[in-house]
Amino acid sequence: MAEIAEGGGGGHGKGKKRAKKSSTRVDMTPMVDLAFLLLTFFVLTSTFSKPKMLPLAYPAKVEETEKQKGPKMNNGITFLLSEDRIFYYQGEYYNKDHRDKDGSVTELKEVDFGTGEKSVRKLLGKLNNYVLVKKQGLDEKLKRKELDDSTYLNKLDALRVKREALKVLIKTDEEALCKNFIDLVDELKIAEIGVIAPVDITPGELQLMKEKLKK
């Protein structure tokens, strides 16, 4: 408490003395020291868990002819990228050891990012026409407010993965340009392709593409 000094008569004595304000600052140095001591203690006394081996189940060995076939796709197309060129083939991959029902083998065709008949956009528009036509119908319903935004997007997502919709595989070699890969994915999005899968190129596809590059 502050002390009151009593003065002489007449009220001319000294007035009240002001109490000194105590500092509110808390010294955290002891707490920091304690934290480091605890940290050191736990580091030295803790026992780290030993790494455990995770058992893996490997698939059965696949014959070389099976590797050449590639994945089966319904209404699918495979793009092969090398250097600044883009090739494609439709359906499954067939070679001399694994031929189509009519005895034919896969032949690569080439496209580009231009605006002509051999452009990627023209090709995708033709092959994914089912989805694009259905999308136009959904767009009209959205404009007439027969569908809300959420229902429209759900129906469009379901449409993109239907059996009739085009599925795309993308394969590249070591010489493929990253720019071409990105541009191709952009074109696939414009064409409303719902299933896009970058996968490893097979030795047969790589050889077929090399032969095409020489021409």
Q: Please give the helix or strand (H or E) that residue 156 lies within, else none.
A: helix 149-160
Residue span(s) of the chain under CATH 3.30.420 come to 64-126+166-214
Which tens digits make up the pLDDT trace of 14-72?
555 666 666 667 777 778 888 888 888 888 887 766 666 655 555 556 554 444 444 45
pLDDT at 143 over 70: yes
Query: DSSP states of 106-157 as a string?
Result: ---EEEBSSSSTTBHHHHHHHHTHHHHHHHHHHHHHHHTTSS-HHHHHHHHH
DSSP state of 33: H
Question: pLDDT digit string (tens) for 154-207?
Answer: 999 999 999 999 999 999 999 999 999 999 999 999 999 999 999 999 998 998
CA angle 150, 151, 153 (to 5 degrees): 65
**Dist CA 201 CA 70 (whole Å):** 9
- Report which of 206, 201, 176 is spatially closest to residue 85, judged by C-alpha positions: 176
CATH class of 64-126+166-214: alpha beta
